[in-house]
Structure 1
Amino acid sequence: MQNRNHFSIIGTGAVGGYYGSLLQRAGFDVHFLVKSDYAHIQAHGLKVDSVYGDFELPEVQAVRDPQALPPCDVVIVALKTTANAALKDILPHAVAENSLVLTLQNGLGSEEEMADLVGADRVLGGLCFLCSNKVGPGHIRHLDYGLITLGEFRADGQPGGITPRLEKVHAQFQKAGIPIRLVEDLVLARWKKLVWNIPFNGLSVVRDQLTDQLIRDPQTRELCITLMQETARAAQAVGRPIEPEFIEKMITDTERMEPYAPSMKLDYDRGRPMEIEAIYGNPIRAAQRAGVDMPETRKLYEALRKLNPVV
């Protein structure tokens, strides 16, 4: 990595808009690839309402044509996984000889998709523990949390360890006020996030409830725990055991969380395709290859497929 500290944000929504704004506010050179909000952002910039303090960026470097993106040190992919087909036409313009590609996407399989496009040696993976929504053109509302768990991708599936380039990105994000936790095993971190995502994303759609309602109702609470335990068994089967107390922590954290509509519910309510394959299909198939079934997860997967606005 060079010392220019240039970032590209691919997907200026609830995730990319929030973290990209923090990076620009800290003085980094940030370029935003914008689709539907381009005219508004060009005229008015970005606005962030945050529990840690509201702020605005009246001027940002926004482009709507991928060919206008300058090659940057770190290319942050914050698109929904349902939009990944577009990356083959985006990343070649954004990636320079020494660029890294950091994917901040849900579920399993994101790093593999990036590696197919740019090479496995360029790819970092990040998991966002963030309650944030896009509430209008160029307008992000940050409700809670903000931690990114960051790790190295390895094409062989082995832990990548803590590398100097991870530590450099860590330092840059910390300068921007973004909390970062480095992990030696990115795959384990992804399975641990699925422990929360699998129950709360899908059930928020099929039950039409927010997180506080799901955790308060005895029936759905029990189903959430069942889905969490099922996910942990699948993780164990693929060689990533999760400590039992982690499930209890996820339940406690959700009880303390502000009432929240997970990203899948927001997508469904707005008539957008949901990230069903990344969050459900890929883990189910990975567990199946390891000889483990996920029956309750599979039921939820099939229910979501029937509800998906775009087939």
Structure 2
Amino acid sequence: MRDRKYAILGTGALGGFYGARLQKAGLDTHFLLKSDYQHVNEYGLFIESKEGDFTLTQVNAYHDVEKMPQCDVVVVALKTTQNYLLPKLLPPVVKENGVVLVLQNGLGIEEEVAQIVGNVTVIGGLCFLCSNKVGPGHIHHIDYGEIILGEYTSEYSPAGITENMQLLSDDFKSAGISIELTEDLLLGRWKKLVWNIPYNGLSVILNATTDKLMADQYTHRLIAQLMYEVVLGANSMGRNIPDSFVQKMLDYTLQMKPYRTSMKIDYDECRPLEIEAIFGNPLRKAQAAGADLPQISCVYHQLKFLDAQNQREG
């Protein structure tokens, strides 16, 4: 596996961090960049991390996917608002019988990828990472970094622990990245939404970082209510999330360093928000299964309004 080529589509806070770690571990890694291409091509990538800073002075950087080599593993680390580009980006760079690793938030993403490229394995990765891009080619890793891997199957039926998951796990672990494997990707996606829905949504609507949301009794209560609605949504699709997991996510966030969520950063930078992947898709799937999620629906509609206003004014 170590002689396999990796392509990183989206060299931002997430793709830049994980891709740099893979290259530092000796894996053949190729990066697709947009605005940072010139800088990274000349100066490389700088990772400022709680686990130790490092610089990659030589980076395989590309501005055009057609110039990238075909790779065994293609890591999709774009924002889901850019997924309309995937039909152009994926076919040239992924080898037949290769792997597409989707490191994105939300629900239903793997289905879209599977429709674009045939004869590949699609694996979803749920990233528990506090990381920001703070300048051209400069990634600031604040905390955490674990990835949960699960293989996609038609209708999201549980795939078990597959060989491809094990091989990816070995590579990422060699790069010092903590990996957990899940037999059920759909359950993993819903569990990630237990955190993503309340904190991403409320951070934008209430203009607050995670620590401020947790410090106030009213927002703390609202966060818990939203989390339990996510649990209801998961139940409607036959996936059980125990109450103890909700408490675990609340405790986990209390222990986090103050964090401005990725959606809040996008909002502050006047970039389109990942509303459909994180809120719209789960809402529609749960509603189709007969579940009513009124508070998540309320957050969804508020975000749609704020995003539209922000895009017009930005």
Q: TM-score, normalised by structure 2?
A: 0.97
**Identity in percent:** 53
Partner of 2:31: 32
CA contact 1:7–1:28 (8 Å) conserved in 2: yes
Partner of 2:46: 47
- 2:276 partner letter: E
CA contact 1:120–1:153 (8 Å) conserved in 2: no
Give structure 1 regions of 4+ aligned residues with deviation exceeding 2 angstroms: none
Partner of 2:200: 201
1:246-301 deviations in whole A, cap 9, x for unaligned? 00000000000000011000000000000000000000001101101110000100
Q: How does 1:8-157 map to 2 (within 5 A)?
A: 8-119=7-118, 121-157=120-156
Deviation at 1:156, TM superposition (A): 2.4
Q: What value does the CA root-mean-square deviation take over the aligned residues?
A: 1.1
Partner of 1:271: 270
Distance in 1, Cα, partners of 2:121 & 2:25: 25
CA contact 1:120–1:155 (8 Å) conserved in 2: no
Partner of 1:161: 160
1:176-222 deviations in whole A, cap 9, x for unaligned? 11110000000000000000100000000000000000011001000
Partner of 2:210: 211
Partner of 1:187: 186
Deviation at 1:98, TM superposition (A): 2.4
- SS of 1:201's equivalent? helix
CA contact 2:2–2:171 (8 Å) conserved in 1: no
Distance in 1, Cα, partners of 2:191 & 2:123: 17
Partner of 1:289: 288
Distance in 2, Cα, partners of 1:137 & 1:99: 30
Distance in 2, Cα, partners of 1:35 & 1:151: 29
Deviation at 1:120, TM superposition (A): 7.4
- SS of 2:273's equivalent? coil
CA contact 1:104–1:127 (8 Å) conserved in 2: yes
- 1:205 partner letter: V
CA contact 1:114–1:120 (8 Å) conserved in 2: no
- 1:180 partner letter: I
- SS of 2:154's equivalent? coil
Partner of 1:255: 254
Distance in 1, Cα, partners of 2:159 & 2:63: 34
- 1:128 partner letter: C
Distance in 2, Cα, partners of 1:120 & 1:288: 32
Q: How many residues align?
A: 310
Is 1:173 aligned to residue 176 of structure 2? no
Distance in 2, Cα, partners of 1:221 & 1:82: 29
Deviation at 1:37, TM superposition (A): 0.5
Deviation at 1:113, TM superposition (A): 1.1
- SS of 1:128's equivalent? strand
CA contact 1:264–1:274 (8 Å) conserved in 2: yes
Q: TM-score, normalised by structure 1?
A: 0.98
Deviation at 1:3, TM superposition (A): 5.9
CA contact 1:120–1:154 (8 Å) conserved in 2: no
Deviation at 1:155, TM superposition (A): 1.2
Range that drifts further, 273-282 or 118-127:
118-127
- 1:267 partner letter: D
Unaligned 5+ segments in structure 1 are: none
Unaligned 5+ segments in structure 2 are: none
Range that drifts further, 300-309 or 13-22:
300-309
CA contact 1:149–1:182 (8 Å) conserved in 2: yes
Q: How does 1:227-266 map to 2 (within 5 A)?
A: 227-266=226-265
Range that drifts further, 93-102 or 141-150:
93-102
Distance in 2, Cα, partners of 1:156 & 1:38: 38
- 2:295 partner letter: E
- 1:209 partner letter: A
CA contact 2:97–2:120 (8 Å) conserved in 1: no
